Amino acid sequence: MVATAGSHATAMTDPGLEPVATLPGVGPALAETLRKLGIERVQDLWFHLPLRYEDRTRVTAIRDLVAGDAAQVEGVVEAVETGFRYRPQLKVALTDASHATLVLRFFHFRRQQVEQFKPGMRLRCYGAIRHGQHGLEMVHPQYRALHGDTPVEATLTPIYPVTEGLGQQRLRSVIDKALARLPDETALELIPHEMLQPLGLMPLRDALLGVHRPAPDADVPALLAGAHPAQQRLAFEELLAHHLSLKRLRARIRKQRAPALPNDSALEKKFLEALPFMLTRAQQRVAAEVGHDLAKRVPMLRLVQGDVGSGKTVVAALAALHAIANGWQTALMAPTELLAEQHLRSFRAWFEPLGIEVAWLVGKVTGRARAKVLERLAAGAPVAVGTHALMQDGVEFERLGLAVVDEQHRFGVQQRIALRDKGAAVGEAPHQLVLTATPIPRTLAMSAYADLDVSTLDELPPGRTPVRTVAIANGRRDEVIERIRAACAEGRQAYWVCTLIEDSEQLQAQAAEVAHAQLRKALPECSVGLVHGRMKPKEKQVAMDAFKAGGIGLLVATTVIEVGVDVPNASLMVIENAERLGLAQLHQLRGRVGRGAVASSCVLLYQPPLSGLAQQRLETLRETNDGFVIAEKDLRLRGPGELLGTRQTGEMGFRVADIVRDASLMPAVQRVGTAMLREYPVLARRLTERWIGGAARFADA
Ligand code: ADP
Ligand code: MG
């Protein structure tokens, strides 16, 4: 039986590899449009899966409609009205046998459309239900007039990702033509029989047909929930393809040679002796794991995960010492300038006394200053700290031996590839060390970081006191201000964090400015500072320095302080509108306090009423300070986007798989992935190509 997997139709006769233009009715123009969707070959259409389904197999009584749902209704037009109050609109009132009324509302319409609707006629519509001024309504529903008996759809209607110039109807018909070319199961299957069989999954051919064209008797709720066996089969295969692509990326990198960077114990001793603290056992263990990798001629690919405040920076510095001792350069890259500045200060404080130069490059370093830094990097400056500016074209290192990426979830795999290439000049790939404060549940790590080895800092430095967290409604804001007054009077320092959901730095800055003015007035005896993303780096620095030196008692800030800000004397944090933030972000913010020996507290100021989700989030934070517990909870409440950053999940771009819902598949994915790479590398490559296509080709670059 093993032979079936290996004896497939070869690439030459594989109907899936034919260009789409070989399908009847697909001319050059349509082929070009399809290319925009990443569809070039017939198999790309087989694997262009529905995003979701519309259920037009039944009609819902208007009385039973629920806002937020999508539904199909049928009724008689009662009244038609056009209005031009603010903008033109057309309203059609529809009633049915349940004696309830639904308003169909159109903002864009043509004259013929208005004339089309006649009181008394019967309509069938499909659309999303929302609350309107007078009861429930549908905005721009799809609709058709009914004459006589028109049966409802027999199957769920698949909705595909489309693009301009290509609608659902047309795409559906092209996919039909492609599906007609599906070969039999043996030719289609790429996963070796002996690996697939024990998993009890549905055959691939049946799964594809079942997902594209659900049968009339298919399990509708399961399909809508993504839990149908056909979807599970495809999710498994998709997760496997992603897993394989990350593993192959890893294998490619590991095939290159990296400089061996053994430890210089004299230098390390000097460094450790000058450090104002002793390493924790966890730091020693992780530093040893990193050191072990660095001593080899194979590029290190290691992720260090550790909760906020667990002391990842010094682990990175110890790794940099390996490079320095061997005459190679280290680049440390952070996702924001503020965080990069923080690292710059730590690194300069640690390295300059040892006579080690630390160069600085961010986007705002321009002109002559930039030219000078570039010159230093090209001449071999031992350490460079900065943002993604370090990876841009034109930045050249003499001998890059180690690339450290902080808060990796904000960067993508592509950027890591770009970093790798910075070492190309000398024919050696740099070692890669990735730091993250977002602890990732195991199953998620398996899918997102299959290309990395993982070390965990599971211990906080001693002397930290757990942060006490309380949630207080905005109505009691005055009490909170009194707490700050008391803290200030005792010489303690506090943060006041302003948040907004909008991703607008400008609005955030405005909110912070308003809060700053109010708090200054309310707390004349405290010195109140301000820092936000729109300030000049110099101004930000002045405010941060003053806060650090104790000259400022209360720092009003936006979420720019989320990562990396380190002021041990700050022991109180107020987070405004805490209900708007995700768990991971709240945990990061809270990690800015509790860094010293004084008991710290965090006040989550919220605007009632709280949604159920928000309530659970605030409760979780009150109950625990453990980043791992919080991450697991976050995963259950919000999904992986929050944990990994939208960019990363967007990049992963799953079609059917959902790494939370399908987490239980991961152990099997990993098992099969390892076996396939070892025993069937050609099939592994074809599977990745099939699912990831262009992106997989990119990873091979
Ligand atoms: P994170 O893991 O969140 O990046 P940092 O590296 O910023 O944490 O460290 C947080 C703070 O703890 C810094 O002030 C750092 O100097 C300090 N620190 C790190 N390791 C230790 C240690 N072993 N003992 C005491 N303080 C430490
Ligand atoms: Mg850090």
CATH number of the domain enclosing 102: 2.40.50.140
On the question of pLDDT at 502 being above 90, the answer is no
> Which residues does residue 570 pair with via DSSP β-bridges, in sequence order?
493
Residue 215's contacts (CB-CB under 8 Å, 6 or more residues apart) are 155
Higher pLDDT, 583 or 528: 528
Residues 321 and 438 grouped into a single domain: yes
329 and 442 in a single domain? The answer is: yes
pLDDT of residue 664: 84
For a ligand 1 pocket test, name from 272, 275, 277 the mutation site with the most ligand atoms within 8 angstroms of its C-beta: 277
Highest mean pLDDT among 115-119, 372-376, 567-571: 372-376
Atom of ligand 1 nearest to the CA of 591: 3
- Specify the pTM: 0.71
Distance of CA 123 to the CA centre of its chain: 42
One domain for residues 330 and 390 = yes
Amino acid 631: pLDDT: 77
Strand partners, 436: 305
C-alpha of residue 308 to centroid of ligand 2, in Å: 7
CATH number reported for the structural domain that contains residue 438 in this entry: 3.40.50.300
Q: Per-residue pLDDT for 202 more than 90?
A: yes
Assess whether 397 and 480 both reside in one domain: no
The pLDDT of 339-365, averaged and rounded, is 92
Average pLDDT of 355-377?
Answer: 94
Tokens at 363, concatenated: 């986007």
640 pLDDT band, cuts 50/70/90, is very low
- Span 666-681, pLDDT tens digits: 889 999 999 999 999 9
CA of 223 to the centre of ligand 2 (A): 42
- Domain limits at 361? 259-457
Q: What is the pLDDT of residue 418?
A: 62
Taken in order 48, 53, 57, 59, the sign of the CA dihedral is negative
Which ranges in 256-311 belong to alpha helices (H)? 265-274, 281-294
- Domain boundary residue, one of 422, 457, 492: 457
Residue 2's pLDDT band, with cuts at 50, 70 and 90, is: very low
Whether residue 446 is predicted with pLDDT greater than 60 in this model: the reply is yes
- Look up residue 200 and give its amino acid: G
Residue nearest to atom 14 of ligand 1 (CA): 566
Choose between 332 and 4: higher pLDDT: 332
Rounded distance from Cα 508 to ligand 2 centre (Å): 23
Whether the per-residue pLDDT at 3 is higher than 80: the answer is no
In a domain, 662, yes or no: no
Residue 354 inside a domain? The answer is yes
472 with 437, same domain: the answer is no
* Residue 644 Cα to ligand 1 middle (Å): 23
- Residues lining ligand 1, Cβ inside 6 A: 277-280, 283, 306, 308-314, 437, 461, 566, 595
66: nearest Cα among 134, 128, 145:
128
Return d(Cα 677, Cα 271) in angstroms, integer.
43
In this structure, the residue with its CA closest to atom 24 of ligand 1 is 461
**Sign, Cα dihedral of 648, 654, 660, 665:** negative
Domain boundary among 457, 479, 499: 457
- Interval 627-643 mean pLDDT: 66
The more confidently predicted of residues 657 and 23 is: 23
Q: Which atom of ligand 1 is nearest to the CA of 346?
A: 16
- Say yes or no to pLDDT of 350 above 70: yes
Does residue 293 or residue 501 have the better pLDDT? 293
Instruction: Determine the pLDDT at residue 695.
Output: 45
pLDDT band of residue 511 (cuts 50, 70, 90) is confident
93: helix, coil or strand? strand
Task: Say if residue 295 is exposed, middle or buried (CB neighbours under 10 Å; 0-12, 13-18, 19+).
Answer: middle
- Together in a domain, 381 and 489: no
Residue 361 has pLDDT above 70, yes or no: yes
- Cα 504 to Cα 234, 511, 646, 673: the distances in Å are 38, 11, 16, 42
Cα distance between residue 478 and residue 574, in whole Å = 12
Inside any domain, residue 103: yes
**Residue 421 and residue 524 in one domain:** no
User: Would you call 305 helix, strand, or coil by DSSP?
Assistant: strand
Average pLDDT over residues 579-602: 84
Model confidence at 535: pLDDT above 90: no
Among protein residues, the one whose CA lies closest to atom 5 of ligand 1:
311
More reliable by pLDDT, 654 or 255? 255
**Cα 277 to averaged position of ligand 1 atoms, centre (Å):** 9
Task: For residues 453 and 488, state if they share a domain.
Answer: no
Mean pLDDT of 189-217: 93
182 vs 406, residue with greater confidence = 182
pLDDT in tens, 237-252: 999 998 888 888 788 8
How is residue 480 written in tokens? 């909170």
Q: What is the identity of the amino acid at 374? A: L
pLDDT at 1: 36
Helix axes 28-36, 168-179, angle to 10 degrees: 100
* Residue 673 covered by a domain: no
CA gyration radius for the chain?
A: 30
Domain boundary among 434, 457, 480: 457
The pLDDT of residue 649 is: 38
Q: Is residue 444 part of a domain?
A: yes
From CA 194, how far away is CA 181, in angstroms rounded? 26
- The neighbour count for residue 198, using CB atoms within 10 Å, is 10
Residues 6+ apart with CB under 8 A from 100: 61, 62, 63, 65, 135
Distance 313 CA to ligand 1 centre (A): 7
Report yes or no on 653 lying in a domain: no
For 49-86, the pLDDT digits (tens) are 998 898 898 899 999 999 888 899 999 999 999 887 77
The DSSP 8-state label assigned to residue 15 in this structure reads G
For the CA of 313, the nearest atom of ligand 1: 6
Q: Residue 697 has what pLDDT?
A: 43
Q: How far apart are CA 330 and CA 313, in angstroms?
A: 13
Ligand 1: centre distance to CA 625 (Å)? 17
Q: Each residue of 258-274: pLDDT tens digit? A: 999 999 999 999 999 99
Q: Are residues 266 and 285 in the same domain?
A: yes
Res 647 pLDDT > 70: no
pLDDT (average), residues 531-544: 84
CA of 279, closest atom in ligand 1: 23
- pLDDT of residue 113 exceeding 80, the answer is yes
Question: Residue 410's pLDDT is what?
Answer: 46
Ligand nearest to the Cα of 312, by number: 1
- What is the Å distance from ligand 1's center to 572 Cα? 19
Do both 437 and 328 map to the same domain? yes
Which tens digit of pLDDT belongs to each residue from 398-432? 999 999 988 755 445 555 556 666 655 567 889 99
How many structural domains does the chain have?
A: 3
Q: Cα–Cα distance between 432 and 448 in angstroms, integer?
A: 16
**82/114 Cα distance (integer angstroms):** 8
How far is Cα of residue 150 from the mean position of the Cα atoms in its chain? 45
Integer Cα distance of 308 and 439 in angstroms? 9
Question: Residue 639 pLDDT more than 60?
Answer: no
Note whether residue 7 is domain-resident: no
Average pLDDT over residues 382-386: 97
- pLDDT of 466: 83
Q: Which two tokens stand for residue 49?
A: 């899966």
Cα separation, 305 vs 442, in Å, equals 12
Amino acid letter, residue 695: A
Q: What atom in ligand 1 is closest to the CA of residue 278?
A: 23
Torsion of CA 74, 78, 79, 80, to 10 degrees: 30
Instruction: Find the mean pLDDT for residues 100-114.
Output: 89
- If asked whether residues 374 and 515 sit together in one domain, one would say no
44: in domain: no
Q: 510 and 433, same structural domain? A: no
**Ligand closest to CA 563:** 2
